[in-house]
Structure 1
Amino acid sequence: MGMRAAMVTNCPSINSFAASLGFHVFGTEDFAAQSGSDSSSSKDVRVISRALGLLGFSEGCVQDSSEFDLVFVHVATENTAGKLGKLGMRTDLNRLDKLVAAVMEAAPAGSPVAARVHVSVVLSYGSATGNKEEACLIVNSSTETDSDLKLLRPRQSYTMKAGNMLDDVRNHHPMLLAQWQEGVTRSDLAKQFSFEEFIKHAGNFAMLAERFLHEVAFKLWKAPKYGA
C-alpha cells in the first residue's frame, strides 16, 4: 500500500516475518540507545521517543517530513511460568502499559501530535487449548436455539473474503485490538483491555488478522475502507 513501515523487535521470528513484509527492522536495544532523549529516561520512553521521531514528531511539534509512516514496537512475553508463574506475564503487561503511557504523554489531547497520530495496541489472548466456550466470539453460542430468525442475521465481514464464506475462521481466543485516534467520531464504551470487556462494550467486534494492516492503512488515509 506504499507505506514506509518499521518494526522494533528482538525476536528472530518476528524479525524475519517483518522483513518478508518489507518492513525495516530495528533491534530493540540499539533502537533505544540511538534515541535523542535524555539518557536518564527509561528505555520504554526512549523507544517511544525515537519511534515518534521516525514518524516526524519531535518535542511536541510536527516536522515537514518523516522517515516512516508506520512504526510497530513488538513486546515479547518471556516464558517465565516455571519461575514466576503469572507474575512474569504481569511484568510484561506493565511494560506494555508504560509504552502506551509514553505515547499518550507525548501526544496530549489537543496537541499537534495528537491530531496526526494513530495508535493500535494488539495483544494475544490466552491459550487456544483452553476453554473455547469462554473465549468465543459468538456470544451465548451454547444456548442459541434453532430458529428461522437466525437466517435473517447478517454475516459478519470477518467471516467472508471476496464475497465467499470462509470455513477456517477461528472464533475462539482472538487477538485483542484497541485503537485510539483523536477526532474519531465512532468510539465505543470499553474501559479495560480484556476479552470480557470487548465482548460487552467494543465497537468493531472482529476482523480477519490479515486485514489488520489494511485497516491501519485506511486510518492513515493510505487505503480505501474495507468491510462494513
Structure 2
Amino acid sequence: MADKPSRSLVIYGDGFAQLIHGHLNSFASHASCGFLSLRETEDKRAVKEVAQLFGVYDPTISERFMGLKAAMLTLGFDVFHFNELASESLIWLGFQCGEVHETSKYDLVFIYVWIDKFVGFVMQLASPSSIGSRLHLSIVMSHGYISKISSDLSFLFPQQSYTMISGKLRHHSPLLIAQLQEAVTRKDLAKEFSFKEFKEHGGNHAIPADRFLCEVAFKLWKAPKYGA
C-alpha cells in the first residue's frame, strides 16, 4: 500500500486484443494481469463494455468516490501527436518533468485511443522518475468480435467470485487488463499481453468489469477495497 494517494491513468483499446505490439508486451511483463468479466446486455457491444467499465448506470463518479475528479479523452488524435498527448495526460495528473506535484487537475484520466505507441511514451516518461510510485496505470483491451471458444473464462480454476453475482454473465471474450504501479502492484509471470498468457500466468484471474472503477478508486484513497 502506498503512503500517499495515487493518481490513475486508464488506457482502453476497443477491439485490439489480437493486435498487440512490443510496448504492450513489455508492459504486461512488469504488470499484474487478469480479466474483467462482462454481463450480457442488449446494448451494442462497445457501448455495453465501456458502460460496465465505468458503471454509468450509477451516480456520477464524483458522487460515488468522494469527489474524485475524472476526465475522458477519446478517438480523433493524430498518431504523430501521441507524445504530446502522453505528456499532457500526465500533467493533468500532476506529473511533470519527473516530479510529483502536490495538487492535480484530475485524479483519474481515461484514454480511449490506439494505444501501443502511446503506452511506450507514458512508460518512458514515468519509469525513470518518482512518478512511477504515484501513477497507477491500467491498460484494458477488448476482443471486439471474436469466437466464444477462444477466450472462455469457464476454464479458470478455482471458480471465480464474479460467477456468484446476479444477472446473465458473459463467460467468453472478457476484457484483458494489466496494471502497474511501482512498489504497489504485484508482478506476476505473464510475459505477453494475451488471453492465453493471462490465463496461464496472470496473477489476478477475473473480477466483474463494473467493479473495476472501485478497485481504481481504492488506489486513489477514494473507496474501500472491493471484496474486503
Normalised TM-score (structure 1): 0.65
**Matching of residue 157 in structure 1 with residue 195 in structure 2:** no
- Contact kept, 8 Å, 1:7 with 1:25, in 2: the verdict is no
In structure 2, distance between residues paired with 1:102 and 1:50: 11
Separation in 1, partners of 2:190, 2:226: 23
Task: Indicate whether 1:215 and 2:215 are aligned.
Answer: yes
Other-structure match for 1:122: 140
Which amino acid is 1:66 matched to? S
Residues 69, 118 of structure 1: alpha-carbon distance in 2 compared, 3 angstrom cutoff: same
Deviations 1:97-144 (Å, cap 9, x if unpaired)? 1111111111115x211111010000102425x2x232101228xxxx
Higher share of residues assigned strand: 2
Residue 8 of structure 1 deviates from its aligned partner by 9.6
* Residue identity matched to 1:217: A
In structure 2, the partner of 1:58 is: 96
- 1:106 corresponds in structure 2 to 125
Q: Flag structure 1 segments of 5+ consecutive residues without an equivalent.
A: 34-40, 76-91, 141-152
Query: Would you say the 8 A contact 2:94–2:101 is kept in 1?
Result: yes
Write the distance in 2 (CA, Å) between the matches of 1:186 and 1:7.
18
Partner residue in 2 for 1:69: 107
**Who is 1:36 aligned against?**
none
TM-align CA RMSD: 3.5
Cα drift, residue 224 of structure 1: 1.2
Tell me the distance in 2 between the aligned counterparts of 1:218 and 1:52: 20
If the length of structure 2 is used for normalisation, what is the TM-score?
A: 0.65
Which of 1 and 2 has higher RCO (CA within 8 Å, sep 6+)? 2
Where in structure 2 are there 5+ consecutive unaligned residues?
Answer: 1-5, 13-46, 62-69
Query: Which is higher, the Rg of structure 1 or of structure 2?
Result: 1
Q: Aligned AA for 1:188?
A: D
- Given that 1:6 and 1:26 are in contact with CA atoms closer than 8 Å, whether structure 2 keeps it comes out as no
Aligned-partner Cα distance in 1 for 2:86–2:167: 40
